[in-house]
Chain A
Amino acid sequence: DIQMTQSPSTLSASVGDRVTITCRASQSISSWLAWYQQKPGKAPNLLIYKASSLESGVPSRFSGSGSGTEFTLTISSLQPDDFATYYCQQYNSYPTTFGQGTKLEIK
């Protein structure tokens, strides 16, 4: 199975900050990577697919990059609504696997 490792596990930041979350795959997954945002008590929400494609309706301050084994999710200017937990997911092969999550907290 492909292991997905996110860093950091927790990130403290302020409104207006630029933040980056990293996701590493244990083997190459080409660009078959998605990013999700999840708020407490809610279902995850797709932000990015195929590593860098922005899902319809997602604000342009979110962007994704990378290929192979290393990927990043960047939020260019944090807004209050962005404080949540973020997950990466590889769908290069089954079982599809998620990272352990990165909790973005208000500093």
Chain B
Amino acid sequence: EVQLLESGGDLVQPGGSLRLSCAASGFTFSSYAMSWVRQAPGKGLEWVSVISSSGGTTYYADSVKGRFTISRDNSKNTLYLQMNSLRAEDTAVYYCAKGGQSGAIRVGFDYWGQGTLVTVSS
């Protein structure tokens, strides 16, 4: 059974930093691209970042480019999101999501974690 378990969400002050983790199990983690998608309270889905299966390719939404860094450790089956210079508008539930096709980066997301809440407020 595929499982994605996010952690690391917290209350942080504007300008602060946070690192999210997503522990994966139930599939060959190193074969799939992984993404972070966020959802502000009461709002729709916003894609944040993607990393290829090998970690060699990454893309970011303009809203987080230069502030967030996605990475993965295939030996630990874990995805990360380093979030720096946080702003109030980054407040959201952050989901990690698994790419739906082995080896592909342009994919839909067939499994999602339960989400972790990041609140940016003074």
Contacts and interface: CB of A to CB of B under 8 A. Distances in A.
Interface in B52-106: 59, 61-62, 95, 100, 106
A43 B6 CA distance: 12
Tell which of A46, A92, A95, A97 has the most Cβ of chain B within 10 Å: A95
Given A34-B108, A92-B106, A94-B59, A100 B44 contact: yes
A50 B106 CA distance: 11
Contact of A43 (B35, B44, B107, B114): B114
Contact of B62 (A50, A95, A99, A101): A95
A91 B106 contact: yes
Contacts of B114: 43
A91 B107 contact: yes
Given A43-B95, A43-B114, A95-B59, A34 B109 contact: yes
Contacts of A97: 47
Tell which of A96, A97, A100 has the most Cβ of chain B within 10 Å: A96
Interface in A33-82: 34, 36, 38, 43-46, 49-50, 55
Given A43-B113, A46-B100, A100-B44, A95 B108 contact: no
Contacts of B61: 95
Contacts of A101: 44-45
Nearest to B93: A43
A95 B47 contact: yes
Contacts of B50: 94, 96
Contacts of A55: 110
Nearest to A6: B44
Given A43-B112, A91-B107, 15 more contacts: A34-B100, A34-B108, A36-B45, A38-B45, A43-B114, A44-B109, A44-B112, A89-B108, A89-B109, A92-B106, A94-B50, A95-B59, A95-B61, A95-B62, A98-B45
Interface of B: 35, 44-47, 50, 59, 61-62, 95, 100, 106-115
Interface of A: 1, 32, 34, 36, 38, 43-46, 49-50, 55, 87, 89, 91-101
